[in-house]
Amino acid sequence: MSGEDEAKPVTVKIIETVYVEADTADDFKSVVQRLTGKDAVAGDAPELNSAQRFGSGREASRHGDHKVGSSSEKKSS
Protein backbone atom coordinates (compact mmCIF):
# COMPACT_ATOMS: atom_id res chain seq x y z
CA MET A 1 0.00 0.00 0.00
CA SER A 2 1.17 3.48 -0.76
CA GLY A 3 0.95 6.52 1.53
CA GLU A 4 -2.06 7.81 -0.43
CA ASP A 5 -4.23 4.93 0.79
CA GLU A 6 -3.91 5.81 4.48
CA ALA A 7 -7.14 6.40 6.36
CA LYS A 8 -7.91 9.99 7.24
CA PRO A 9 -9.13 10.89 10.74
CA VAL A 10 -12.89 11.03 11.08
CA THR A 11 -14.65 13.99 12.67
CA VAL A 12 -17.92 13.29 14.47
CA LYS A 13 -20.22 16.21 15.17
CA ILE A 14 -23.02 15.67 17.67
CA ILE A 15 -25.95 18.04 17.31
CA GLU A 16 -28.37 18.26 20.20
CA THR A 17 -31.76 19.80 19.53
CA VAL A 18 -33.67 21.17 22.51
CA TYR A 19 -37.32 22.23 22.36
CA VAL A 20 -37.79 25.53 24.19
CA GLU A 21 -40.90 27.66 24.75
CA ALA A 22 -40.87 31.33 25.65
CA ASP A 23 -44.10 33.08 26.60
CA THR A 24 -42.81 36.65 26.73
CA ALA A 25 -40.16 38.70 24.96
CA ASP A 26 -38.08 38.69 28.14
CA ASP A 27 -38.28 34.89 28.31
CA PHE A 28 -37.27 34.66 24.64
CA LYS A 29 -34.34 37.02 25.19
CA SER A 30 -33.23 34.97 28.16
CA VAL A 31 -33.40 31.73 26.16
CA VAL A 32 -31.42 33.21 23.26
CA GLN A 33 -28.76 34.54 25.61
CA ARG A 34 -28.50 31.18 27.36
CA LEU A 35 -28.18 29.25 24.10
CA THR A 36 -25.77 31.65 22.38
CA GLY A 37 -23.83 32.81 25.41
CA LYS A 38 -24.23 36.42 24.31
CA ASP A 39 -25.63 39.35 26.26
CA ALA A 40 -28.03 41.72 24.53
CA VAL A 41 -27.07 45.36 24.30
CA ALA A 42 -30.31 46.71 22.79
CA GLY A 43 -32.98 48.35 24.92
CA ASP A 44 -36.74 47.89 24.78
CA ALA A 45 -38.34 48.06 21.35
CA PRO A 46 -40.61 51.04 20.68
CA GLU A 47 -44.35 50.42 20.81
CA LEU A 48 -45.76 49.92 17.31
CA ASN A 49 -49.29 50.72 16.18
CA SER A 50 -51.29 48.04 14.32
CA ALA A 51 -50.37 49.42 10.86
CA GLN A 52 -46.67 49.20 11.70
CA ARG A 53 -47.00 45.70 13.19
CA PHE A 54 -49.02 44.18 10.38
CA GLY A 55 -48.24 46.51 7.46
CA SER A 56 -50.51 47.48 4.64
CA GLY A 57 -49.78 44.23 2.80
CA ARG A 58 -47.78 45.81 -0.04
CA GLU A 59 -44.40 46.74 1.41
CA ALA A 60 -41.38 44.46 1.23
CA SER A 61 -40.56 42.23 4.14
CA ARG A 62 -37.58 42.89 6.41
CA HIS A 63 -35.47 40.61 4.23
CA GLY A 64 -36.20 42.77 1.20
CA ASP A 65 -36.55 39.89 -1.22
CA HIS A 66 -40.17 38.93 -0.68
CA LYS A 67 -43.36 40.89 -1.17
CA VAL A 68 -46.17 40.64 1.34
CA GLY A 69 -49.61 40.51 -0.20
CA SER A 70 -52.00 38.32 -2.11
CA SER A 71 -50.65 35.47 -4.18
CA SER A 72 -52.53 36.75 -7.24
CA GLU A 73 -50.26 39.80 -7.56
CA LYS A 74 -47.81 39.52 -10.45
CA LYS A 75 -44.20 40.66 -10.18
CA SER A 76 -42.97 43.02 -12.86
CA SER A 77 -39.32 42.91 -13.88
pLDDT tens sequence across 11-31 = 999 999 888 889 999 999 988
End-to-end CA distance of the chain: 60
Question: What does the pLDDT average to over 34-56?
Answer: 69
- Residue 70 — pLDDT band, cuts 50, 70, 90? very low
State whether residue 67 is helix, strand or coil: strand
Q: Confirm whether pTM is higher than 0.75.
A: no
Separation between Cα atoms, residue 20 and residue 58, nearest integer Å: 33
The upper half-sphere exposure of residue 13, i.e. CA atoms within 13 Å in the direction of its Cβ, equals 2
